[in-house]
A and B are shown apart, each in its own frame.
Chain A
């Protein structure tokens, strides 16, 4: 898959945020004990969800960790994981959107989620994308305690 559509041009002009899908995502992630808090701004029609991970998964040197989820009506998304350390930070992004240097599906691996990222293929189903992301973060969290 490339960033271009079948006419060889980038899909015309993007799409608005999918408020309804974000509502569903907030409900599901909000039911899980991994997250201590989920905020959305603005609350009446959210742009993105900020899902804050519970502190118990991290050693003290990690001050804060969260997952920022943005989803669009045409299926584009940007999911951004962020850790705030006592002496630095860590970022990782899973994206599906047009870009000049990557395919539509790509990741920007840590430590500072650089551009360009790596081409990849994310699952088609949005629920599979989310469970893949959360599983990967689970793996990283376990790594703190090895």
Chain B
């Protein structure tokens, strides 16, 4: 990245430099502190099926520890086992969505969730009108960009926004379908 241009630099007479050497290195804090963080981060990266060895490498720990965490995560639903021999695992997005819906139910009351749902549904409708098809799966980015005279990036961004809004709608609908006395007895639902 570029150096700051000279005119922007600090006035060494009047301004005091921060103590950069006291900062923790980014390599440390982006990784979290616990072994569990390492393994959770590793399985969040599993967009395609990975073995215990792959997970161990991603997590920066041994294969035995990876197997233990994978067993535990599988019992919790965080990963799904995809193949038997060798055993491969994939991040279980379905579970992560379920967990988020539960959390939405805990954090917001019905009126708030309905308000979010209204906003997100409107966003989905607007994007559907913009693209002129029922679902984002029907759009091929490069083809749509060429035919609508837009950049690939622009279409990529709009399409991701559409998928995100649709995901939010389904999370909110799911949260609203969970029985609730608006925060009173959530624990009993799970």
- A12–B170 CA distance with the chains assembled, in angstroms: 22
What interface size band does chain B fall in? Answer: 35 or more
Residues of B close to A92: CB separation below 8 A: 1-2
Q: Is B4's CB within 8 Å of the partner chain A? A: yes
**How many Å lie between the Cα of A75 and that of B45 in the bound state?**
8
- Chain A residues near B44: list those with CB within 8 A: 18, 20-21, 24, 126
7 A-B pairs closest in CB distance: A59-B10, A131-B26, A134-B26, A16-B163, A145-B17, A10-B142, A16-B164
Distance in Å from the Cβ of B54 to the closest Cβ of chain A? 11
Contacts of A44 in B (CB 8 A): 104, 107-108, 116, 168, 172
* Closest chain A residue, CB of each to CB of B28: A131
| Nearest CB in chain A: distance from B53 CB, A | 16
For chain A residues 109-146, which have a beta carbon within 8 Å of chain B?
Answer: 109-111, 115, 125-127, 130-132, 134-146
Check if B171 is an interface residue, CB within 8 A of chain A: yes
Residues A97 and B153 in contact in the complex (CB < 8 Å), given A13-B136, A62-B8, A73-B47: yes
Contact B24 A10, beta carbon cutoff 8 Å: no
B35 at the interface (CB under 8 A from A): no
By a CB distance below 8 angstroms, the chain B residues around A45 are: 100, 164, 167-168, 171
Q: Report chain A residues within 8 Å CB of B83.
A: none
Contact string against A for B residues 130-153, beta-carbon threshold 8 Å, 1 for contact and 0 otherwise? 000000110111100100000111
Listed A/B pairs (23) with beta-carbon separation below 8 Å: A13-B139, A16-B163, A19-B167, A20-B96, A29-B30, A32-B24, A59-B9, A60-B15, A61-B7, A81-B1, A85-B8, A98-B142, A98-B152, A99-B153, A99-B156, A100-B145, A111-B2, A127-B30, A131-B25, A140-B3, A141-B20, A143-B4, A145-B17
Q: Given A45-B100, A72-B160: A145 and B9 within 8 A (CB)?
A: yes
CA distance A145 to B116 in the complex (A): 45
Contact A28 B32 (CB under 8 A): yes
* With A3-B152, A12-B137, A16-B163: A144-B4 Cβ-Cβ less than 8 Å: yes
Judge whether B41 is part of the interface by a CB distance below 8 angstroms.
yes
* A-B contacts at CB below 8 angstroms, number: 169
CB-defined contacts of B151 to chain A, threshold 8 Å: 99-100, 115
Asked if A15 and B163 make an inter-chain contact with CB atoms under 8 angstroms apart, the answer reads: yes
Q: Is the CB of B4 within 8 A of A99?
A: no
| Smallest CB gap from A20: residue in B | B96
Tell me the complex Cα distance, A28–B103, Å: 20
Given A9-B140, A44-B108, A61-B8, CB of A14 within 8 Å of CB of B156: yes
Known: A62-B8, A72-B160, A97-B156. A14 touches B141 (CB 8 A): yes
Q: Is the CB of A73 within 8 A of B26?
A: no
